Chain A
Amino acid sequence: MKNDDIRASLLKRSRAAKNERFGKILTGLCILIIITVVVAIFYFVASKGLATFFTDKVNLWKFLTGTIWNPGTTDAQGNPQVGALPMIVGSFGVTFLAAIVATPFAIGAAVFMTEISPKVGRKVLQPVIELLVGIPSVVYGFIGLSVVVPFVRRTFGGSGFGILSGTFVLFVMILPTVTSMTIDALNSVPRNYREASLALGATRWQTIYKVVLRASTSGIITAVVFGMSRAFGEALAVQMVIGNAMLLPSNLISPASTLTSVLTMGMGNSVMGSLSNNALWSLALLLLIMPLIFNIIIRKIAKKGAMR
């Protein structure tokens, strides 16, 4: 009889074990919700975005290379005019230009903060960079509209709206991200590399240029690609300064548009399920796929850096 009691109490789950199970299930559920959301995003956007090609029978190649975006009308052969090239060129244009302008500044600031004056860097530049990250994108857009656009208009002519203004705005927006990731990359260079170089009689700049930057190249490239991924997806700030003309941009100061700007402007003005709506979802699908590609690039670079 007594043995049975002991046996029962040993075979029963203890309070702690029940607790443990409860915790594991609870936290696992949270993860499950996040996973569901990610899968749902891909499922819904893909199902809408692919409808253009499967339901409305638009040729994928024509979609990517066509230069006229006017989903309501058809061309001479009766195909709908959904050419996304102007937006694709606009998006990549502002992204690459912003990255090209931002990279030297980001590397310079990061080198300053890690190699030249870590104390001033931590006390002054670090908070500055954190604040720059925190400024909302609409505020960047508003400043772009009231400062950058008139500046570009006065200096380069034209209306002021266009890829150049978008580049300036995005440059400031991705600068803090690229800088702080570059700092991490520079900090991961072992201290003895620097000491070895200095011991050989190299100046500080020679050490930075020939040793530190070389050793952290893959990390810096990762930072730049990450910044580009940010710039590519930025919507409102760019939309406010780029001019929103769905034409293939002929120069840097003519009004253009990006994938994100067309989406923010157009989604409210089209009927669900219509071709013009589906075409917009195809643009959203492009926006969904691009971060994946940037992600894969970052991973490849990181792997290459890790092997050395």
Chain B
Amino acid sequence: MNPRKWDKVATTVLYMISVFIIAVLAFLLLYILISGLPHVTWHFITGRSSSFAAGGGIGIQLFNSLYLLILSMLISIPLSLGAGIYLSEYAPKNWLTDLIRNMIEILSSLPSVVVGLFGFLVFSINMKLGFSILSGALALTVFNLPLLTRKVEDSLQSVHYTQREAGYALGLSRWETVIHVVVPSALPGILTGMILGAGRVFGEAAALIYTAGQSSPPLDFTNWNPTYIASPLNPLRSAETLAVHIWKINSEGIIPDASAVSAGASAILILFVLLFNFAARYFGNKLYRHLTGARERG
């Protein structure tokens, strides 16, 4: 065979690989949605889960997932913003900063199950929070912080240095420049990163099994006082999330319709992930257009 033929063959193979990857995603999405959506009814979304009988819902789990997500984002957004600003704007170029960057990178490469076990040991046992939403939110924060910080730092770094110089030339201090000039122009990137991070947190289960717990006690949706034991907002109650629920009924559960319930729950989970993905793209682009007037993101 001559080189020209090889070129044709190789190109065909590369096309096939690309089509294969697209087919894998299409299969995954279609499989989940086709097998899951028929089970998704209003009763399924809002109903209570059952431990033995068929016909359980995922209402509490869905609420828990959303509540945990909001709580952990409330902790991790300010922390990662602060850390990202420090690394991008204040950190001097020396060995200490390199060490800090390395530590954050190591934190992001740790398996989520190790983060979960750390949370179990420190938040649930040493800090006596037990299996609770609060320890779950803290574990998710640990899991999410390095990636968010990295994203914030990258977004800030991509702001041109002339913008900062313009701020200094107007007599602003460095902090004022950061807050009024640099952060606003880096906002589209930061927002995209935060929403994608939220999607990651929403589907995470390994870090939650031993921190937020694997049981969902009945909730009283008429009492929203956070100190009441069965209140949905009580941060010290144990809370099984949607992702943990899917894992639990598949690996240890005894309910007869486990595959139907997990198919439905997976479909909901995937829909949320898609939603986060499109939201990240949409709001990022919209904000960018709003800030710059440009049509397409460069």
Residue numbers of A with Cβ under 8 A of B are 16-17, 19-20, 22-24, 26-31, 33-35, 37-38, 40-41, 44-45, 48, 104-105, 108-109, 111-113, 116, 120-121, 124-125, 128-132, 134-139, 141-143, 145-147, 172, 175, 179, 202-206, 208-209, 229, 232-236, 239-240, 260, 263-265, 267-268, 272, 281, 284, 287-288, 291-292, 294-295
* Complex contacts, B35 vs chain A, CB 8 Å: 146
Give Cα A16–Cα B109 distance, bound, in whole angstroms: 39
Min CB distance, A206 to chain B, in Å?
Answer: 6
Complex contact A137–B28 (CB within 8 A): no
Complex contact B114–A27 (CB within 8 A): no
Complex contact A137–B206 (CB within 8 A): yes
Cβ proximity bits B1-44 to A, threshold 8 Å, 1 near / 0 not: 00110110111011101101110110011011001000000000
- A135 CB contact (under 8 Å) in B18, B28, B115, B120: B28
Min CB distance, B158 to chain A, in Å?
Answer: 15
* Complex contacts, A30 vs chain B, CB 8 Å: 78-83, 86
Is B175 at the interface (CB under 8 A from chain A)? yes
Query: Which 3 pairs of residues, A with B, have the shortest CB-CB distance?
Result: A136-B203, A233-B111, A30-B82
**Minimum CB distance partner of B8 in chain A:** A205
Complex contact B273–A134 (CB within 8 A): yes
Complex contact B205–A137 (CB within 8 A): yes
Is B53 at the interface (CB under 8 A from chain A)? no
* Complex contacts, B178 vs chain A, CB 8 Å: 23
* Complex contacts, B169 vs chain A, CB 8 Å: none
Complex contact A205–B200 (CB within 8 A): no
Min CB distance, B215 to chain A, in Å?
Answer: 11
Complex contact A19–B121 (CB within 8 A): no
Excluding A34-B146, A37-B107, A291-B106, 12 further A-B contacts by CB distance (< 8 Å) are A22-B175, A26-B82, A27-B86, A38-B103, A38-B107, A104-B17, A112-B14, A139-B270, A205-B6, A235-B111, A235-B113, A288-B114
Is B283 at the interface (CB under 8 A from chain A)? no
Interface of B is mostly: helix
Is B125 at the interface (CB under 8 A from chain A)? yes
Complex contact A16–B90 (CB within 8 A): no
- From B6, B78, B104, B266, residue with most partner A Cβ within 10 Å: B266
Known pairs A31-B100, A135-B28; A125 contacts B18 (CB<8 A): yes
Known pairs A23-B178, A29-B82; A130 contacts B117 (CB<8 A): no
- B11 CB contact (under 8 Å) in A23, A31, A37, A204: A204
Min CB distance, A153 to chain B, in Å?
Answer: 16
Give Cα A265–Cα B15 distance, bound, in whole angstroms: 42
* Complex contacts, A234 vs chain B, CB 8 Å: 111
> Which residues of B (153-176) have their CB < 8 Å from a CB of A?
171-176
- B246 CB contact (under 8 Å) in A44, A138, A267: A138
Give Cα A141–Cα B178 distance, bound, in whole angstroms: 43
* Complex contacts, B85 vs chain A, CB 8 Å: 23, 27
Known pairs A131-B277, A138-B203; A287 contacts B113 (CB<8 A): yes
Give Cα A26–Cα B86 distance, bound, in whole angstroms: 9
Min CB distance, B162 to chain A, in Å?
Answer: 21
Give Cα A30–Cα B21 distance, bound, in whole angstroms: 40
* Complex contacts, A272 vs chain B, CB 8 Å: 125
Is B274 at the interface (CB under 8 A from chain A)? yes
Is B45 at the interface (CB under 8 A from chain A)? no
- B104 CB contact (under 8 Å) in A34, A41, A139, A260: A34
- A34 CB contact (under 8 Å) in B149, B209, B246, B277: B149
Min CB distance, A211 to chain B, in Å?
Answer: 14
* Complex contacts, B172 vs chain A, CB 8 Å: 16
Known pairs A20-B173, A295-B105; A44 contacts B100 (CB<8 A): no
* Complex contacts, B196 vs chain A, CB 8 Å: 134
Complex contact B25–A128 (CB within 8 A): yes
Known pairs A172-B24, A208-B10; A146 contacts B209 (CB<8 A): no
* Complex contacts, B111 vs chain A, CB 8 Å: 232-235, 260, 287, 291
Min CB distance, B199 to chain A, in Å?
Answer: 6
Complex contact B7–A203 (CB within 8 A): yes
Give Cα A95–Cα B46 distance, bound, in whole angstroms: 39
Complex contact B25–A131 (CB within 8 A): yes
Complex contact B11–A41 (CB within 8 A): no
**Minimum CB distance partner of A204 in chain B:** B7
Complex contact A112–B83 (CB within 8 A): no
Give Cα A276–Cα B120 distance, bound, in whole angstroms: 17
Complex contact A233–B114 (CB within 8 A): yes
Give Cα A202–Cα B9 distance, bound, in whole angstroms: 15
**Minimum CB distance partner of B118 in chain A:** A41
Complex contact B82–A175 (CB within 8 A): no
Known pairs A37-B142, A45-B114, A291-B110; A206 contacts B3 (CB<8 A): yes
